[in-house]
Amino acid sequence: MGSADDTFTARIRTAPRRVFRSLAVPNYRRFFAGHAVSVIGTWMQRVAQDWLVLELTDSPVALGISTALQFLPTLLLGLWGGVLVDRLDRRRTIMATQAVSAVLAAVLAVLVLGDLVRLWMVYALALGLGLVTVLDVPARHAFITELVSPDNYVNAQALNSTVHNAGRLVGPAIAGVLIATVDIGVAFAINALSFVAVLLGLWRVDPRELHRVPALPRAKGQARQGLRYAWAHPELRACLFLVAVVALLGQHFRVVFPLLARDTFGGGAEVYGWLTSALGVGAVLGALASAARVSAGAWSLLLWTFAFAGVNLAAAAAPTLGLALAAVVALGVANICFNTLARTLLQIKADPTMQGRLIALHSLIFLGSTPLGAPIAGWVCEQWGARTGLLLAGIPAGLAALALLPWLRKIRTPREE
């Protein structure tokens, strides 16, 4: 008994070291620090852009369309973006995409502050940012495997999720205050400036210390090769199926939350900021918990799919804003645990030369489904209210997990910690 107690005590004492172990790697630490600053601005822009569209149109469908346009290029070009990531220098690719993102944010800031903005301009800039995303997302996630060794893949991805969702916690709250007290355009301007931090962090990364993957030689059929590779591995196939269902109907918070804030609870931009920040609180907690893991598998992903379904139903049933915020915190935990496990499972189970294409395939499904799912979510909320949007998120996810349960029993996986 004493031995068990000693083991438990030792695990508690070493938990912080295990959770933050990737930060001991200098290159990862430099990238992490720059990303931590930039992501706050990114979330400020997302909230500000959504509220700007509502102010210009007062239309949930228009809000869904603006979100859809940002992710349409990933749906159309995502696989080829992954091929390019496997061919190109990942660090330089990210520096280029971040620089272009800064320019797009600056243009939107000028248009809004100059009172020149029109809906079609917001649409065009959202589409431009979507084109950047085709390369940026798979490059950033695949770059993690160059910054740390394989035994830290799960940890580094989870820490990235932590800082991403800490930004979700801080950024929307700041954006809500700026919208209410100053001007929406200020949020876009701050986001443009925040990209300096991530560019500086990438510039300080030492290329000699990277775990470089051999560049993929140019050849025909490399996008199809990635598809065949994913289909041939049952655990990867199960992962992508669950991601497809959850992403298509379940992760349209930017469509549902503004309507939940305004129409269900009678609030304004500040209530939307609270809801998004509550999601960020849960996401930070979930990401920190995920950071202590050393493995990822399809069974864990299945359990978090059930959890995601359950908390969406709880949020839909919440009668007051306080209970809704508590449910959204739980939703943030389930959502980030699901997303982190899905991305790391694809990296751990994939050959290094396939990582760019596997992450691009994940992005194609995860982000590329938004042009289809966001207008659907907007239409459902317009017809039956924001609570129905949460039901749309929860019920299909639960049914997908139930459908996959008998199949996963045939897949034997190592013990997951």
Q: Is residue 197 part of a domain?
A: yes
Structural domain contains residue 376: yes
For the chain, which residues score pLDDT lower than 50?
1, 4-12, 413-417
169 located within any domain = yes
Looking at residue 352, what is its pLDDT? Answer: 67
Range of the domain at 291: 22-206+225-408
Q: Is 11 within the bounds of a domain?
A: no
Angle at 27 between CA 350 and CA 98, to 5 degrees: 80
Q: Give the total number of structural domains in the chain.
A: 1
Report if residue 4 sits inside a domain: no
pLDDT of res. 11:
47
pTM: 0.69
Q: What is the CATH number of the domain that holds 55?
A: 1.20.1250.20
* Residue 14 forms part of a structural domain: no
Q: Is residue 213 part of a domain?
A: no
Question: What local confidence, expressed as pLDDT, does residue 227 receive?
Answer: 78
Residue 7 in domain: no
pLDDT computed for residue 171 by the predictor: 84
